[in-house]
Chain A
Amino acid sequence: MRALLRKEWIEHRLFLLGLYLAGAVVLGMAWIAARNDITPLRAWNVLVALYGTLAAALLSNRLVMREYGAGTQLFLEALPIGRGRVLATKWLGGWIALLSFFVPAFALVLWGAREHVYLGGGLPGAIALRSGVFLLFVYAGTFVVALTLRLRFVVWGILIFAAALLDQQAQLPFREWPPMVLVRGDMVLAVRPLWRELAVTGALAVGLAGVSLLLALAARGALPVVLARPLSARARTLVAFVIAAGAGLSTLMEHRAVPPPFRLQQAVSSRGEPAVHVGWQGAVAGMAPAQLAERIASDLAALRTWLGLGPLAQLSLVPDAWREPDEITFAPVSPHHLAIRAALGAPDLALPQLQEVARVAHIVDQSPVQGWREDRSWVVWGFTGWWGAARDGGRRALLQRRAATAARLLAAHGMDTRMALARPDAMDEVLGDCLAMALSWRAVQTLHERIGPERFRNLMRAVLAGPGADDARALAEARSTPRLLEQAGTSLPDLARDVDRALAPAQDGAPPAPAVLRVAAVPQAGAMAALSYRVAGPAPAGLAVRYKLLRPMEPGVDPLTTLWAGGTASGVLPATFARGTRVFVMADAPAPALGCRYRLGAVRVEVP
């Protein structure tokens, strides 16, 4: 057995080295990603579930194919050693090679996490048990598949197809299968081992190891020899036909068992296209639901024609009484179906804002490749505002007032219009959604006046109705908004100058002055700190201070994801924070003259 192990080592050492290096890279990346997770042990979870599966499959496949695929097991058989021992040595060698990476990696992860996680109470043992049994199962399973040699890809296909069928059609979710339960998220949190899942997975692993032995010894060792022969042309054709037929049948099955669609009970729907469903029986923004559905549908239909969009997804307006009236959000529900959540029953729900969100939802849905790319987000919001205000003088006047206030606030924060349009995420953070959208509207309105209706329409089509994800042009072409502006005969700096000029007369009004928001750390025991805040000056009515923990690489701050901190001019955030944590704090207040909330101040702090 020693000679066999030595042979396996020499034969596979370079491959193992590569596998270990790849594992180290995966572990490093998972560790970085897990730094701000609930526990850094999450890196181990990722390593076992993803890398472990891949490594076990690759290793077992190589161990089998290099022997049986090349026919060298015939050479081994002529030596005085039993087939069972050859297989057992190979199997054990592979398992030892896997553990040779995972055991030190586990020790390293525990060592790295020792100051962040309480490692007593049997947690390391529970994690090790779950990881070990899962890896054993995966390794034993992939070894069996590898032993089917020329049929292994067919077997893999059948397994994946069967798993997908069971998962989606048979109400047996993949994540609920005992082996998958072992490596789900609570793997690195739960101290109590899942005995049932461990027993089932362990028994499966033992059974699969037995199947490996049976396959290797079947027909007195002749089965692997037969299986190792290449498929004949006829067999390949048959396999290709079966796979194609299986794939075809699977699409039929998908058609026959469509997942239950999202459907609002007792919704009022539009008769025109696109379908708009309003899930509220009472008046919405002072309008009957049926009338609202028709109005939104006709507005969207006109928008589609004007922008040259594809067929629009149906839209459902979902009531959410827990929201503020101005907290209107959208999300895709399923392919070709969007939902907007809003406080539909709120008396002060703004219909123009609801319509703007409906337009934005469809524009983003029609250009998934660009999505929320920062350089065009001001055009998306500005255009939807412009579309609604084009035939509504009152709305235009209100947006103009808001835009003027936005410009003043920007100046107070040391930003100008050009900078705001170049960095819309920063603009949102400083101004809040309402004023940022108004400034965007002003920019688009100015653009329309500057380049004329025809070029404006072409430009909007280019920016907003870009190629979809299924269009190959989207891969080769990244059309930035500044470049499209230049193609339309203008530029961002020129546009910003015109916007400033258009807003100058309104600066004389009485917009609210920006307040100063200060946040200070108050050290607590250990490495923790509390954060106190203070808004300079008297607290305006309706003041709301909110905060949010910032994660690495997180772009803008969505106000809906912030947490309530208080409604007074000074206070302490209701949480303690570890050293190095980054926190966003903002203060909003309603401005009756503007008809919406504006941002008094916003700061990002890092806990010292």
Chain B
Amino acid sequence: MTAQLRLHDVTHRFGKVLALDGLNLSVPAGAIYGFLGRNGAGKTTTLRVLMGLTPPDAGRIELFGEEVRNVPVRLKQSIGFVPQEPHFYPWMTALQLGRFVGDFYPDWDDAEYRRLLRRLDIPPDRKASNLSGGTRTKLSLALAFAARPRLLLLDEPTTGLDPVARREFNDQLIELQREQGTTVMFSSHLVGEVEQVAHAVGIIQAGSARFEGTVDSLRAQVRRVVGLDAAPGLSWLERVRGDVFRASEDAWRANALPPGAVAERLGLEDIFLAFARTDAVRAT
């Protein structure tokens, strides 16, 4: 599968805080990429770098096969963005917002936008200030998809939504992604949500990637080993945290654990916790 987006050793500092520390990522084309991390792990900074809002201090960005230092406006025309909290003009209706946003995108599809409004049950003539939080998020999704982007970035879009609204939003995201084949990068700290939506997962901690792969491969690689006090001679195992170890699927199959030790499969949430709690954001 070809990658739509790659980050190579991207570093960014906010003053003394190292927000991105040599981040490497690869988002496959046509996939929904779940971008998992704790609060402050660097998810939003990564998305801002990809939106061209925050130029990286170091590293390279490869977007749609083009290597750039900072994302130019030209490439932003192929990127849709759904923020955590949409700041629409309160006096604009959904239709006015579509007309306004559409002028900035060469591939804007107005018919599709109207269809999306109907489908997502968004009142077209109601002002943005009178829409509920969930409807505003869905409006943001409609605006993003109507631009026919090649890459869609979502920055924790379901934060603040109730479980029903969150589930509806995610279902619609999956359906729309299937229809348009858009590459989606979906940041979240909710493991269940990512498990529901994503084909591939990246876990970021303290500004650098701790894991990348499919959800299944993640489950297959990271396991809890019970009854193993130490792992001398078990060089094929990499300790993630405590009794949680990581090894390739083949390695798990090919190697045997010492007597008394048993490997158990873990849920995605346990795996995420094991990665996320290994260290803290480093300040230099």
CB within 8 Å of B: which residues of A? 2-3, 6-7, 10-11, 70-75, 77-82, 220-221
Min CB gap A132→B, angstroms: 31
Query: Roughly how many angstroms separate A203 CA and B51 CA in the complex, as a whole number?
Result: 36
Contact, CB under 8 Å: B104 / A81: yes
Given contacts A80-B76, A221-B53, contact A75 B91 (CB under 8 A): no
Q: Which of A11, A73, A75, A80 contacts B88 (CB 8 A)?
A: A75
User: Beyond A72-B89, A74-B87, A75-B86, is A2–B76 a contact (Cβ under 8 Å)?
Assistant: no
With both beta carbons as reference points, the residue of chain A lying nearest to B54 in the complex is identified as A220
Instruction: State in angstroms the CA–CA spacing of A6 and B96 once bound together.
Output: 11
Residue numbers in B under 8 Å from A77 (CB-CB): 51, 53
* B212 to A: closest C-beta gap in Å: 26
Closest A residue to B77 by CB, please name it.
A80
**How many Å lie between the Cα of A72 and that of B89 in the bound state?**
6
Q: Do A81 and B73 form a contact, CB below 8 Å, given A3-B104, A7-B100?
A: yes
Most buried by B among A71, A73, A79, A220: A79
Residues B87-107 near A (CB distance < 8 A): 87-91, 96, 100-101, 103-105
| C-alpha gap A515/B112 in the complex (Å) | 96
What 10 new A-B contacts, CB under 8 Å, besides A3-B100, A7-B89, A75-B89? A70-B87, A71-B87, A72-B87, A75-B83, A75-B87, A78-B51, A78-B53, A79-B76, A81-B73, A220-B54
Residues in B whose Cβ lies below 8 Å from that of A73: 87
- Report 15 cross-chain contacts, Cβ distance below 8 Å, ordered by A residue: A3-B100, A7-B100, A10-B96, A11-B89, A70-B90, A72-B89, A73-B87, A77-B51, A78-B53, A80-B74, A80-B77, A80-B79, A80-B105, A81-B104, A82-B73
Whether, in the assembled complex, B181 has its beta carbon less than 8 Å from a beta carbon of chain A, the answer is no
A72→B103 contact, CB < 8 A: no
Contact at B103–A3, with CB atoms within 8 Å? yes
Residues of A contacting B54 in the complex (Cβ-Cβ under 8 angstroms):
220
Bound-state Cα–Cα, A357 to B19, Å: 81
Q: Please give, as numbers and ranges, the residues of chain B lying within 8 Å of A10 by CB-CB distance.
A: 91, 96
Cβ distance A227 to chain B, nearest Cβ, rounded Å = 16
Residue B134 lies at the interface, judged by CB distance under 8 Å to chain A = no
**Distance of B126 from chain A, by nearest CB (Å):** 17
Q: Tell yes or no: B133 within 8 A of A by CB.
A: no
* CA A73 to CA B87, docked complex, whole Å: 8
**Most central of A6, A75, A82 by chain B CB within 10 Å:** A75
- Indicate whether B33 reaches chain A with its CB closer than 8 angstroms: no
Q: Are A2 and B103 in contact (CB under 8 A)?
A: yes
The 10 closest A-B pairs by CB, nearest first: A3-B103, A80-B76, A75-B87, A80-B77, A78-B81, A74-B87, A71-B87, A79-B104, A80-B73, A72-B87
Residue of B nearest to A82 (CB): B73
Number of interface residues of B (CB under 8 A): 23
In the complex the two chains form, is A80's CB within 8 Å of B89's CB?
no
- A83: nearest residue on chain B (CB-CB)? B53
**Measured CA separation A474–B133 after assembly (Å):** 56
A78: chain B residues at CB < 8 Å are 51, 53, 81, 83
With a cutoff of 8 Å between Cβ atoms, the chain B residues found around residue A71 in the complex are 87
B88 near A72 with CB under 8 A, answer yes
What per-residue 1/0 map shows which CB atoms of B43-86 lie under 8 Å from chain A? Answer: 00000000101110000000000000000011011010101001
Report the Cα distance A114→B23, complex, angstroms.
72
Complex contacts, A221 vs chain B, CB 8 Å: 53
Known interface pairs A77-B53, A78-B51, A81-B104; A11-B87 also in contact (CB < 8 Å): no
Q: How far is the CA of A77 from the CA of B76 in the complex (A)?
A: 10
Residues on the B chain within 8 Å of A3, using CB = 100, 103-104
Q: Which residues of A contact B53 (CB under 8 A)?
A: 77-78, 220-221
Q: B75 to chain A: closest CB distance in Å?
A: 8
Q: In the assembled complex, which residues on chain A have CB atoms less than 8 Å from the CB atom of B74?
A: 80
Complex interface: chain A residues within 8 A of B55 (CB): 220
Cα(A10)–Cα(B90), bound, Å: 13
Question: Measured between C-beta atoms, what is the minimum distance from A528 to chain B in Å?
Answer: 58
Compute how far the CA of A72 lies from the CA of B87 in the bound complex, rounded to whole angstroms. Answer: 5
Chain A residue numbers with a CB within 8 Å of B88 are: 72, 75
Chain B nearest CB from A70 CB (Å) reads: 7
CA distance A7 to B89 in the complex (A): 10
- How far, in angstroms, from A75 to B82 measured CA to CA in the complex? 10
Q: How near does chain A come to B59, taking the closest CB pair, in angstroms?
A: 16
The chain B residue with its CB closest to the CB of A71 is B87
Residues of B within 8 A of A80 (CB): 73-74, 76-77, 79, 104-105
From residue A143, how far is it (CB to closest CB) to chain B in Å?
20
Q: Which residues of A contact B73 (CB under 8 A)?
A: 80-82
- With a cutoff of 8 Å between Cβ atoms, the chain A residues found around residue B51 in the complex are 77-78
Name the residue on A nearest B89 (C-beta): A72
Q: In chain B, what residue has the closest Cβ to A7?
A: B100
Q: What CA separation (Å) do A11 and B101 show in the bound complex? A: 15
* B residues less than 8 Å from A2 (CB atoms): 103
Nearest CB in chain B: distance from A436 CB, A:
65
Question: Which A residue sits closest to B82, measured CB to CB?
Answer: A78
Q: Which residue of A lies closest to B83 (CB)?
A: A78
Q: Which residues of A contact B100 (CB under 8 A)?
A: 3, 6-7
Report the Cα distance A2→B79, complex, angstroms: 21
Complex CA distance for A2 and B103, rounded to whole angstroms: 9
Q: Nearest chain A CB to B74's CB is how many angstroms away?
A: 8
Shortest Cβ gap from A10 to chain B (Å): 8
| Closest-CB distance, B109 to chain A (whole angstroms) | 16
B218-262 interface (Cβ within 8 A of A): none
CB distance from A414 to the nearest CB of B (A): 68
Contact with A along B94-132 (1 / 0, CB 8 A): 001000110111000000000000000000000000000
Complex Cα distance A220/B19, Å?
15
Please name all residues of chain A whose beta carbon is closer than 8 Å to the beta carbon of B81 when the two chains form the complex.
78
> Are A79's CB and B89's CB within 8 A?
no
Docked CA distance A10–B93 (Å): 12
Assuming the contacts A220-B53, A220-B54, A221-B53, asked whether A79 and B101 have C-beta atoms less than 8 A apart, the reply is yes
The answer for the CA separation of A11 and B73 in the assembled complex, in Å, is: 25
Task: Kindly provide the distance from the CB of A223 to the nearest chain B CB, expressed in whole angstroms.
Answer: 13
Q: How far apart are the CA atoms of A77 and B53 in the complex, in Å?
A: 7
Q: Which of B79, B87, B101 has the most CB of A within 10 A?
A: B87
Bound state CA distance, A79 and B104, in angstroms? 7
